[in-house]
A and B are shown apart, each in its own frame.
Chain A
Amino acid sequence: MKELKKKRLKQLALWTMAWLLTVMLTKYGATHMWEGNTLISLVAILLNLGAGLGMILINRKLVNESDELEKKIQLEAMGITLGLTLIVGLTISLLDYTHLIDFHTEISTLITFMGLTYLASMIFNNVKYR
C-alpha cells in the first residue's frame, strides 16, 4: 500500500511537472520562439491539455487508492477549496464591478488562491486527524 502510494505520488509529481513545463513552453514559446505560428501554438496547447488530463487521471487513481481517512481529508480540503474559490472569486468580481477596488484580477491569482487554500486545508486536516 505504501509502495503503491509512493509510486502514484511520483507519477503525480512527474505529470504535474510536465503540465507546468508545457504551460511555460506555450507562453514563452508563443512570444519568444515561434512568434505568430498558430500551428505550433496549437500543438503546444494540445500537449498542455494532454499533460493536464494525465495529471487529473493520476490524481484520481491516487485518491481512489487512498484509505478512508485519507479520502475524508482530501474531500474536506477539496470542498473548502471549491467553496472558498467560488465565494472569494465572486466577492472580488463584485468589488471590481461596483468599482470598490481598482485592480483587475488575473486567472493566475485565482489558481494561486486555490493552491494555497488546498495546501492550507490539507495541512490543517492532517494535523486535526494526527
Chain B
Amino acid sequence: MKNRLKVLRAERNLTQEELADIIGVSRQTINAIEKEKFDPSLPTAFKMAKLFQLNIEEIFHPED
C-alpha cells in the first residue's frame, strides 16, 4: 500500500520517534510504514488520520 506518511510527518516537523510516541507504536513500525514495507492495522491508520485531520484514503491508497 502506498502512503504519504513521510510527507505529512515532515510538514508537521515530527520525528519518527515523536510520531511513534503519539500513535503508540515503535519507531521501527513508523519507519516500516513510511518505507511501505508494512501496512498498518485499521486502528493505527485511524489514529494517524485523526492526528493529521485527514481521511484514511488521503493518507493510504492501494497500489495501482
* B-binding residues in A (CB < 8 A): 1, 67-70, 72, 126, 128-130
The residue in A69, A126, A129 that gathers the most chain B C-beta atoms within 10 A of its C-beta is A69
A129 adjacent to B24 (CB under 8 Å): no
| Count of inter-chain pairs, beta carbons less than 8 A | 31
Q: Report the separation of the CA atoms of residues A1 and B22 in the bound assembly, to the nearest whole angstrom.
A: 11
Residues of A within 8 A of B32 (CB): 69, 129-130
Question: Which residue on B lies nearest to A69, using beta carbons?
Answer: B29
CB contact list, B4-61 vs A, under 8 A = 21, 24-26, 28-29, 31-32, 37-38, 40-41, 44
Q: A67-B24, A68-B44 are in contact. List 4 more A-B contacts (CB 8 A).
A: A1-B26, A68-B29, A128-B37, A130-B31
